[in-house]
Amino acid sequence: MSNAILESGAAMADGTPRRGVEQLSMQQALNLALDEVLAANPKALVFGEDCGRLGGVFRVTDGLQAKYGTGRVFDTPLAESGILGMSVGLAMAGFHSIPEVQFDGFAYPAINQIVCQIARMNYRSRGTMPMPITLRVPSFGGIRAPEHHGESLEALFAHVPGLKVVSPSNPHEAYHLLKYAAERPDPVVFMEPKSRYWQKGEVDFDSADPAGSPAGGSPAGAKVMRAGRHLTLVAWGAMVARCLQVAELAAEDGIDIEVLDLRWLKPIDEAALAASVRKTRRAVVVHEAPLTSGLGAEVAQLITQACFDTLKAPVERVTGFDVPYPSGDLEDEYIPNIDRILFGIQRVLEYKRG
């Protein structure tokens, strides 16, 4: 797989921009984005557990060490606090670190480094010490992994001042958003939906917006993936594809659903969120994380604040349950499925004011 992608990327390393549309998996799109970032920025470094010779457990960094050497793409010890602590030191020395936490649940041992150092250093130094760190986190469930290998930590990261948080939903978004994130002087937590790594889709290299929005505008903007008029489904990461499936099924019954991919979970594009819900006048937020204090609560509040006078029903949330993220066979019961999302839509559409 990777040889063809890396050869294609190598042909563009002379500065010639890529053109046209290619069918890539999300894993391939991320690999290509990293390849181009490394080629363009000699201060960019990619590292993490098994990221070097093996190419990562999901092969996102496959072939990059052979191309750029062990000084720029390298393996680390099994110590997440050390990986993120080293990223701080490298940022102080002028490098742009792109570390990988091998699985989302492995980020917990590095919370001190992420929250107390990476997120605060620029503020603490009064702007003299930026933290250009793009933290890649294979995230969410859907692959039947064991405990601590499937988590949904977006609310935790989004709550921390100083961090930006983004989650792509398809290969096109993955390529453009990762390249954009790796050009920022700020720390960005890049949450990659593991269950979507092998799903193929079109990547448009001629997209007008650096973050993939065909309409241009703010690179931090949310994106309408399917236009509709009866209700807005708001989602991110792997749940966007599921919501698109739901919208197709609802259309068979004459229900026209709009699907909004939030993309950036911090900062949230409040204007796009409000514009969509003002049009449809109803909203359902879908995410894998537990319900209580999940990011869906923040999204629901933003919708209510901006659209209170136009809403026809309270904002509904369809989420994971308030239990530890399960492993294996219980995962299908935990992650919002098509039926649960459809029931959420039904509750909103049938809502009657007292």
pLDDT tens digits, residue range 209-231?
Answer: 555 443 344 455 899 999 999 99
Domain 223-349 has CATH 3.40.50.2300: no
H-helix segments, 12-112: 26-40, 64-68, 80-92, 111-112
Is the predicted pLDDT of residue 191 greater than 60, yes or no? yes
User: How confident is the model over 203-214, as a mean pLDDT?
Assistant: 64
Q: Return the CATH superfamily for domain 2-204.
A: Thiamin diphosphate (ThDP)-binding fold, Pyr/PP domains (3.40.50.970)
Buried b (16+ CB within 10 A) or exposed e, 170-189: bbbbbbbbbbbbbbbebbbb
| Beta-carbon contacts of residue 155 (< 8 Å; ≥ 6 apart) | 289, 293, 294, 295, 298
Average pLDDT, the chain: 91
> CA-to-CA distance for 27 and 108, rounded, in angstroms?
24
Contacts 24+ apart (CB under 8 A), 249-252: 249/338, 249/342, 250/342, 250/345
Mean pLDDT (whole number) for 255-266: 97
For residues 55-59, give the mean pLDDT.
94
What is the per-residue pLDDT across 74-90, written as a single tens digit (0 to 9) for each? 999 999 999 999 999 99
Q: What angle do CA 157, 162, 166 make, to 5 degrees?
A: 50
Do residues 152 and 288 make contact, with C-beta atoms less than 8 angstroms apart?
Answer: yes
pLDDT band at 5 (very low <50, low <70, confident <90, very high): very low
- Domain segments of the chain: what residues? 2-204, 223-349
8, pLDDT greater than 60: no
Q: 150, 353, 39, 10: which is closest to 2 by C-alpha?
A: 10
Smallest Cα–Cα separation from 2: which of 42, 35, 39?
35
Mean pLDDT throughout 138-161?
Answer: 91
pLDDT of residue 148: 80
Q: Can 2-204 and 223-349 be said to share one CATH topology?
A: yes
Supply the residues annotated as catalytic.
149
pLDDT of residue 207: 75
